[in-house]
Chain A
Amino acid sequence: MTKNRATLLGDALATEGVEFKTELSIFEQHKLEWLRSNPGEFVVIVGTRVVGFHPDYESAFKAGLSAAGLGKNFLLKQIWAEEPVYLIY
């Protein structure tokens, strides 16, 4: 399933991508717990399965690829209290 996040936020620019609805739901359910146990780390979620926590993006990606399989999407999210907004100037 895809969605257009930018349009949903009222932005004029259209961007499509994988929604990660199930994975983001799992993330939100566990976020407070993970903020205490694994702050700043990357969590890998495949469907409803939490694969593990990693200190950097690259090792988390390799773990996700191994768990999900080639060509299959998985969520790889850094654990923050507040989702950062990245500035591009």
Chain B
Amino acid sequence: MKWRPNPSTLLLQGPVIDIIVSTTLPELEEGRSIGLEYSEFSMRALIDTGAALTIINPQIAKTCKLLQTDWNKITAVGGVEGEYPAYAAAISFPGTELPRLDVIRVVACPIIKQPFFSCLIGRDILRKWILTYDGRNGRFEVEA
């Protein structure tokens, strides 16, 4: 996946990518086989090498009816710290060839208030990718 916004946009917004968050694939398959319906949520996500985990806005967990599996301790910029609910989700990357993540842990933490994105893609996902950031030419590239 290659993205070439321009140097100023990349500087302002950072490396953002369109994603779709939904219930995990095993839940979708089982649920739909008995007639259940699920919501998915399209949004922009910031690829954040400073985030140890992938973070979503809590409203997304509610909208998509994600299943909670644990609590995780988070410390964020500005002194925000606490235990926040971890959920199982699926994340896909429309318009790219990046493979969908069928089951991935995401933590719902209300630290995301910027207008440009509703999710931080953390190093738990980045460990599966190669990320190239070319600030000089205003482009970035992700390879799975």
Contact = CB atoms under 8 A, between A and B. Distances in A.
B75 A88 contact: yes
B68 A17 contact: yes
Contact of B26 (A65, A83, A84, A86): A65
Contacts of A87: 50-52, 75-76
State the main secondary structure of chain A at its contact with B: mixed
Contacts of B72: 84, 86
Interface size class of A (residues with CB under 8 A): 20 to 34
Interface string A33-63: 0000000000000000000000001100110
B68 A73 contact: yes
A63 to B, nearest CB: 10
Given A15-B109, A89-B50, A65 B27 contact: yes
B94 interface: no
B69 A64 contact: yes
Interface size class of B (residues with CB under 8 A): 35 or more
Nearest to B51: A88
B26 A20 contact: no
B51 A77 contact: no
A1 interface: no
A32 interface: no
A77 B82 contact: no
Interface of B: 24, 26-27, 30-31, 34, 36, 48, 50-53, 55, 58, 67-77, 80-85, 88, 102-105, 107-111, 120, 122
